[in-house]
Amino acid sequence: MNGQLRTGLDPANNSEKLAIVADSSDLLFYAALALLPVDGTVAGVPLPYWTPLSPWFFLAYALVNARLLRVVVRRYLAFMLLPFLLVLVSFYGWTTVGFHGWAAARSIGSVVLGLACLASLEIALRIKRLPWKPMVTVLVATYGVAFLAGMVQWAGVQWHVAGIKQFFARLMYRNYTWQRPQFLFAEPSYIGMHLFGVLLPVYWLTKDRRVAVVIPVFALGSLLMGAGTRIVIDVVVAGVLWLAASINFRRRGATIGAVSGIGVMVAGGVAAVFLDPRLSKLASDGLLKGDQSMSARIFHMLAPAWAWTHDLWHTLFGWGAGNISNAVRTGYWGARRWYDARGGLVNGEIRGLENPPTDTFTMSAYVSFVTEFGALAMLLVVLLVVAFLTVNHAWNRTTVCWLVLVAYLYVQFEAYGFYALVLLVWGAKRLDTQRPDAKVPRLVVDTNRIHRVV
């Protein structure tokens, strides 16, 4: 297969004339797609470090199509039971540490929202068999609008247009547009999450050339407009993994091209270190002293992780959903002494973690998850994903690169309801249904009821 995904999302499966929607509820699914990049505005509901709209539309779509959820639950039973498991393991932390209702609800609710996205993909694309091309059209259009918003923000910064700055200051929940483009994301560092956690997998699944245009244009534009340092690193990592997944190494010319491409990516990353002031300072002064934002991110992760080293039982079973602030408070001074001894930059954000608010974040899915639910639950989720890929015969070169990319992206992103991991899990099931020996029921959809036709 030369590392290529074999999925049901290919032109052959969309050759027949299919209705864009099977019933009016499908408009909710399209609305969710249209709002995917809008995850940092005041219109959204605040969740751990983002304010998205799409997850709520995915949830509404799944609930409206509740009659089909039994099919989804049967196919993804282990994942659908995950929220109940997380509530169960949280009782240890809730009874020994404390209980913060709103923070706990946001954590467990975010997991539910992620599963709602998984259910929505299964209902729309596999059960109802809606055509994927209109969906990709919506994605291309909405990320195009997000990119244009970033260009407007960049123009406001370059030419000091007060009206543009004031407009986005009112629109964005956390505003960065006074100094660099934020697009419509919660912060500029989330650009790579969308480009390589959403759009690149969509390209791998559909091979739609329009997506192949949007990704490099958005990435290159972000680099040229100086949207941040993480997008530079993300582009290098994603570029290397894309080449590793796409090139047919059985052909000598392709292999030489791949090696050359990886060399160019690495050279570009090295060049960026010298050309980008923030990257250059990070390289010369270190992660703890080179940049205020980076040092604050590291300390957000370091404080709860320091608490792990002194509390085995809570490390294994978690402090409980919503109790990250308790772990941060416990580990703060130990982490602070280690941090200060190495000359780490200290600002008001870091000082405020001495007595953190209940909605404290870590900026890392791994640190947040282990802190709330424990290392054993984290290990279980990893084994669950690996087992699911194995059972569904989804392993190949592209899947390995995809898994590595997803694992990398969540290092500095903690939203449990984000779509990158969900797409990987759903993509594995799509792979299984395309095996020659797989028996997949055909579904005929009308606006009133769904008949199973074997």
**Cα 343-346-351 angle, rounded to 5 deg:** 135
Tokens of 354: 């001495």
- Which of 418, 296, 425 is closest to 369 using CA atoms? 418
For residues 372 and 88, the answer to whether their CB atoms sit within 8 Å is no
State how far the alpha carbon of 73 is from the alpha carbons of 118, 190, 446, in Å: 10, 30, 22
Residue 288 confidence (pLDDT): 85
Q: What is the pTM of this model?
A: 0.89
Indicate whether 453 pLDDT > 60: no
Residue 274 confidence (pLDDT): 62
- Which of 150, 123, 166, 49 is closest to 443 using CA atoms? 123
Q: Where are the alpha helices (DSSP H) in 122-177?
A: 132-158, 162-171
Element of type H or E holding 332: helix 324-341
Residue 441 confidence (pLDDT): 40
Tens of pLDDT, residue by residue over 392-401, are 999 999 999 9
Tens of pLDDT, residue by residue over 294-351, are 899 999 999 999 999 999 999 999 999 999 999 999 999 999 999 999 999 999 999 9
What band does 248 get if pLDDT is binned at 50, 70 and 90?
Answer: confident
Exposure string for 225-264, b = 16+ CB within 10 A, e = fewer:
bbbbbbbbbbbbbbbbbbbbbbbeeeeeeeeeebeebbee
Cα dihedral value 137, 138, 144, 147, nearest 10: -140
Element of type H or E holding 59: helix 54-64
List, in order, residues 6 or more apart from 174 with CB less than 8 Å away: 40, 186, 187
DSSP state of 40: B
For residues 217 and 256, the answer to whether their CB atoms sit within 8 Å is no
Tens of pLDDT, residue by residue over 416-449, are 999 999 999 999 876 544 444 444 444 444 434 4
Positive/negative CA dihedral, 124, 128, 131, 134 = negative
Residue 447 confidence (pLDDT): 38
